Amino acid sequence: MSSTRNKLIEILALNNDGYISGQAISDKLQISRSAVWKHMKELEKDGYKIEGKSNKGYRIIGFPNKLSENTITWGLDSKWLGKNIIHKESTSSTQTIAHEHARNQAPNGTVIIADEQTDGRGRINRNWDSTKEKGIWMSIILRPEIPAHHAPQLTLLTATVLADVLSSYPLLQPQIKWPNDILLNGKKCAGILTEMQAEQDQIWYVIIGIGLNVKHTREDLSEELRHRATSLGMETEKDWSIQELIQKILATFEKTYELYLERGFGEIKEKWEHYGFKIGKEVNIKTMKEEWKAPFLGIAEDGAMLTISKDGHNQRIYSAEISW
Ligand code: BT5
């Protein structure tokens, strides 16, 4: 898309609660009034809905359904998160792109979003299935001034943000499975991957990767995932707007993250335990060394899972697979 058109969308989007005159636009873009009109017609062909009123000017009243930097920014209720958005139709992994941008000084709050990932990844290099235009595949670059050993708290924070956003829809009752899965009716609909660059307990940057299945039907999920994964669409039979969900996630993330920086982890921990799956119940714990059944007692300030060891003592677990 030509940069004049991008600038035009930006001008219209920034004025989204009022009209802007053709003259003001032509002054800003330094093009003639008839050129402005031609660009408007082109935007309409792309699915933008623009209202033109004599004496008042133009205003944008609808964006195309396709994701783009503009459609995500338009109506986004945040101060700094997502003000810098990079959108790709297809990419290997938004995490990889985010690392490149973070190394090149991308500002705090930069967000990378893709319609499709060809090499999406989970923890320990597991695969993350990221079908085109079916879900939210995004990475957030943060530069928090917190000790590096607190970084796992950001995964738990992100899980509470996703759970808060999903539970704001009456049909959904999300639960969080330690440490990073969001479940609907016991099936995984979202995962979080936190990666960081740090030195001597000082963080350079953190990248929070969020994968959320939105529009998948059963057939869109691989055979392997069908019995343990789900999507918002499959749970509700509703047609979800990916753009609206992204905006809700970013706005809620910003508020929650600011409160966390100001007041610490206490409230996040409480909220996490409110959504926590199988808290107080017996689960199967499998670590690198052993496997046993024990009650899931809650989480610690550092994100560890609290439980009872095989020989009956209080134990903190940092890495394990939980099943039931
Ligand atoms: C996660 O890992 O759950 C973290 C997923 C993070 C994905 C985001 S998308 C944007 C950003 N860019 C990336 O490349 N990644 C991040 P983990 O807990 O290791 O879970 C991985 C396991 O979940 C896989 O081994 C599968 O069993 C399952 N899985 C894979 N794709 C899935 C999907 N779309 N929905 C539900 N489960 C899935």
What is this model's ipTM? 0.99
Residues of the chain with CATH 2.30.30.100: 282-323
* Residue 162, H or E segment: helix 152-167
Q: What is the spatial distance between Cα 306 and Cα 15, in angstroms, rounded to a whole number?
A: 51
- List the residue whose alpha carbon is closest to atom 7 of ligand 1: 211
- List the residue whose alpha carbon is closest to atom 9 of ligand 1: 211
- List the residue whose alpha carbon is closest to atom 20 of ligand 1: 122
Confidence of residue 1 (pLDDT cuts 50, 70, 90): very low
- CATH class of residue range 282-323: mainly beta
CB 89 within 8 A of CB 116: yes
Structure confidence at residue 247 (pLDDT): 96
pTM for this model (two decimals): 0.88
Q: Using the predicted structure, report yes or no on whether residue 214 has a pLDDT greater than 50.
A: yes
Instruction: State mean pLDDT over 311-316.
Output: 95
Structure confidence at residue 2 (pLDDT): 54
Closest to 164 in 3D by CA, of 40, 95, 251, 266: 251
pLDDT tens digits along 76-116: 899 999 999 999 999 999 999 999 999 999 999 999 999 99
Residues with a CB atom less than 6 Å from ligand 1: 93-95, 117, 120-123, 126-130, 137-139, 180-181, 188, 191-193, 209-211, 213, 225, 229
Closest to 242 in 3D by CA, of 91, 250, 43, 122: 250
Q: Using the predicted structure, report yes or no on whether residue 322 has a pLDDT greater than 60.
A: yes
85-91 and 111-117 as β-strands: parallel, antiparallel, unpaired?
parallel
* Three-state secondary-structure class, residue 114: strand
* Three-state secondary-structure class, residue 300: coil
Q: Using the predicted structure, report yes or no on whether residue 275 has a pLDDT greater than 60.
A: yes
Query: With the CA atoms of 253, 255, 258 and 259 taken in that order, what torsion angle do they form, in degrees rounded to the nearest 10?
Result: -110
Atom of ligand 1 nearest to the CA of 181: 3
Instruction: State mean pLDDT over 292-296.
Output: 97
pLDDT tens digits along 239-272: 999 999 999 999 999 999 999 999 999 999 999 9
Confidence of residue 229 (pLDDT cuts 50, 70, 90): very high
Average pLDDT, the chain: 93
Instruction: State mean pLDDT over 147-151.
Output: 92
135-142 and 202-213 as β-strands: parallel, antiparallel, unpaired?
antiparallel
Please list, residue by residue across 3-29, b when 16 or more beta carbons sit within 10 angstroms of its beta carbon and e when fewer do.
eebeebbebbbebeeebbebeebbeeb
- Residue 109 forms beta bridges with which residues? none
Q: How far is CA 76 from CA 79, 84, 159, 303, in A?
A: 9, 12, 20, 30
Atom of ligand 1 nearest to the CA of 124: 19
pLDDT tens digits along 11-61: 887 776 689 999 999 999 999 999 998 989 888 887 888 998 888 889 988
- List the residue whose alpha carbon is closest to atom 29 of ligand 1: 128
Q: Residue 203: is it exposed, middle or buried by C-beta count within 10 angstroms (0-12/13-18/19+)?
A: buried
Residues of the chain with CATH 1.10.10.10: 3-62
Q: What is the spatial distance between Cα 306 and Cα 315, in angstroms, rounded to a whole number?
A: 6
Which CATH number is 69-275's, of 3.30.930.10, 3.10.20.30, 3.40.50.300, 3.30.70.270?
Answer: 3.30.930.10
How many Å lie between the centroid of ligand 1 and the Cα of residue 179? 13
Q: What is the spatial distance between Cα 58 and Cα 289, in angstroms, rounded to a whole number?
A: 66
How many Å lie between the centroid of ligand 1 and the Cα of residue 299? 22
- List the residue whose alpha carbon is closest to atom 33 of ligand 1: 129
Residues of the chain with CATH 3.30.930.10: 69-275
Which CATH number is 3-62's, of 3.40.50.300, 1.10.10.10, 1.10.357.10, 2.30.40.10?
Answer: 1.10.10.10
Q: What is the spatial distance between Cα 50 and Cα 258, in angstroms, rounded to a whole number?
A: 36
Ligand 1 pocket test target in 128, 140, 215, 230 with most atoms within 8 Å of CB: 128
Beta strands per DSSP E along 55-213: 57-62, 85-91, 111-117, 135-142, 175-177, 181-184, 187-199, 202-213
How many Å lie between the centroid of ligand 1 and the Cα of residue 69? 24
Q: Using the predicted structure, report yes or no on whether residue 161 has a pLDDT greater than 90.
A: yes
